Every structure is written in structure tokens, then in C-alpha cells.
Amino acid sequence: MTYTDKMVDWMNRYPAVADLRKRAHRRMPLVAREYMETGTDEDEALRRNREALQAIRFHPEFLKGSMRPRLETSLLDRTYAFPFGIAPVGLTGLMWPKAEVYFAQAARKYQIPFCLSTLATETPESLAPHLGEQGWFQLYTPREEEMAFQLLDRAKQSGFHTLVITVDIPMPSRRQRTKRAGLRIPPRLSLELLWQGMTHPIWSMATLRRGLPRLRTIEDIPGFNEMMSVGAFMSEQMGGNLSWEYVERLKAYWKGPCLLKGIMAPADVEEALKRGCDGIILSNHGARQFDGALSPLEVLPAARTLTEGKVPLLMDSGLRSGLDILRALALGADFVLLGRAFLYGVAALGKWGPEHVIRILSEEMVNNMMQLGIEDLKQLPDRLADAVER
């Protein structure tokens, strides 16, 4: 069976990402569901991300005759079928076993980028046969630069061509909901986890086939076995050390496109340009790091003014639909990344889920462009309500 065999039925049953979210929640145990959905503190930033997107309105225009909206997008000297990709998410296999494999396969089939996290549950080497030319690698910077260079070597040798350096983790956030749900890194068998598994048999069977989720990329670092645990290693090596000078050394070592993810302040946008970064990803880490953060959408217009098209400006955090993507592009983003939307897909429909999410998003984009009366994504700013009212 292929996705095509099920597509019509699934598009009727799950026509929106919100429908996939509901099904994913039913199929996932609490610990996985809370890890996927949580923000931090009181989850105000989660709400802010959605409210900022929903506040963007357009003026449609009609009587345009026959139209064929175009979604193909050029980014960093590559062409992608759509202006969106799959964001990096750590511990992805907790939400659904082999999720990264399914993401990679869908990215290759539909010609969109998939960004693999340093804290993935699959390794760059294991994903290489599935990715084709669609691989981006996201780096959490170890304190030991030689360790960072080893990670970059592995990614480059596995075919990943674009480096994404996450800059917004001066220290791990608290994420109280995941603590209450009983998450430990790495996940350990406990009576609570066993009970959650028994009451969610599809997830449990898939987990038994793949094994408990582990941070396999980290575990393969030479010397890791001498560490006490993944948690001890993370505390010892990850976060709190990144500087502009470190970024420059990583960029020079990588010798390829390098994006900074998590930039939110105008001063940091200006400094990224001075340091020669190839692109910026505005992000508040999916609202998972700092509950007092602005939405990236609130920062986007000012960042667009500062960059003046000199480098690509990307955005993630809070995007759930094709209309959300159009809103971000209208305010100045060149490209967007989505994380939770693809997690909902894989948790709801297994290996076919990422394909279904791509179909939903692309069909929604085309439909909404037709409603707006545009064929080219560059026309979006002209349809913004504020632009028309001015």
C-alpha cells in the first residue's frame, strides 16, 4: 500500500493539520504528548505565537481570470517544491518511533528540506540513504569545539549540505509539563511508562520494534560511554558557551551554507550580517525556551528591514496551516519551517503522515492564493490588510 492508495480517504477524514493533531493525541502516551505540546512556565508564548499569526488579515481581489499559483521556491542556490520544510526536533522518536526516517523519505519525495537535530533519535549516517539532496543539519554546540567538528564531519559525510546553528539555548528551559508527565532523558522503563504503553498499544508496538528512543547521534560521539548518562553529558557539554567567534569558526569549518536559528533581537540580526552568516531563522524555539519571548512574527517586519534581502530570512514557531505560511511570507519571510505539524502527521498516520501534511499544506496554500487572487508568492505583501488600507 502507498500513500496514494489512502490519499482521498484521508483527505476527507483528516483535511487539516488540526484533525491529525486530534488523532495523534489519541495514539500517543501522555509523556510523548506532553513533550510534543509543551512550552514552558505558563505556556503564554505558545498562545502568543498563534495569536500573532491569526491577527494577520488580507484583502482578497477577484475577477483575475484563469490562475495557476506557483509554490516553487529558491533558497540558498537550491530549488524547493514549496516554501516550507521540516524543522529540527530533539527526541523525535519519543513522539513516534522512526519519525526521522519517515520525515527524510517524505522530504526526498516532495523536494523540501528536512533538518535533523543533534538530539535526534536517528543518526545522520542512518538517514543518508533516505534523504537525497534534502538534508540540513542542526547543531547544538558542544563546549568542546573538536566535538562540534566531529558532528559536522559526520553530517557532511552523510550528505547534509546546510548547517543550522541553534543559538537560543543559554541553558535548558524547565518545561514543567514534561516533568509532571514523568519524562526522563533518556526515557527509562518505569511502572508509569509501562502503563502508558499498555494503554497506547500502537505506539508501544512501534516502540518495541525500534527500541526505546535514544539520542543515538550523541551516543556515537567518541568517549560518550565514559559519561554517566545522556543527561550528564548534556549538562556537561551542551549550551551556555556559544559566542559570535565560535559561530565564525563553525561556519569556516563547515564550508557551506550556515543559518543561525533562534535570532530574535535586531542587534543580533545586524551582527549576523556583519559576521557573514548565510541566513537567519527567527524563532522562539517553538515557545519551549522562554515564556516571555515575542512571537517571531512580531519580529519579522523589523528583521526584514534590517536584512534588506541581503540574506534569506526564515521563520518557525506556531505555524500550523497553509494560511499560516502565507501570513509569514507576506510579512517578509522567505521560507518557513514547521515542527509540530509534521509530528502530528507521523503520530496520526505513521510513515504516511509526513506526506499527508505536505499535501494539506500545499493544497491550503494554493486554495488561499486563489482566494486572494494571486499566482506568485511575491504578491502576498500587496494583499495585506494594512498595505491596502494605507
Q: How many helices (H) does the chain have, and how many strands (E)?
A: 21, 10
Q: How far apart are CA 214 and CA 211, in angstroms?
A: 8
The grid coordinates of residue 275 equal: 559576521
How far separated are the first and last CA of the chain, in Å rounded?
Answer: 53
The grid coordinates of residue 5 equal: 492508495
DSSP string, 2-19: -HHHHHHHHHHH--SHHH
- The secondary structure of residue 377, as a DSSP letter, is G
Helix (H) or strand (E) holding 78: strand 78-80
How many other C-beta atoms are found inside a 10 Å radius of the C-beta of residue 132? 15
For the annotated catalytic residues, the residue numbers are 285
Q: Are 250 and 242 in contact (CB under 8 A)?
A: no
Closest CA to 364 of 22, 112, 72, 69: 69
Closest CA to 71 of 325, 312, 309, 281: 325
How far is CA 317 from each of CA 25, 37, 69, 278, 365, rounded to the nearest angstrom? 20, 12, 25, 20, 18
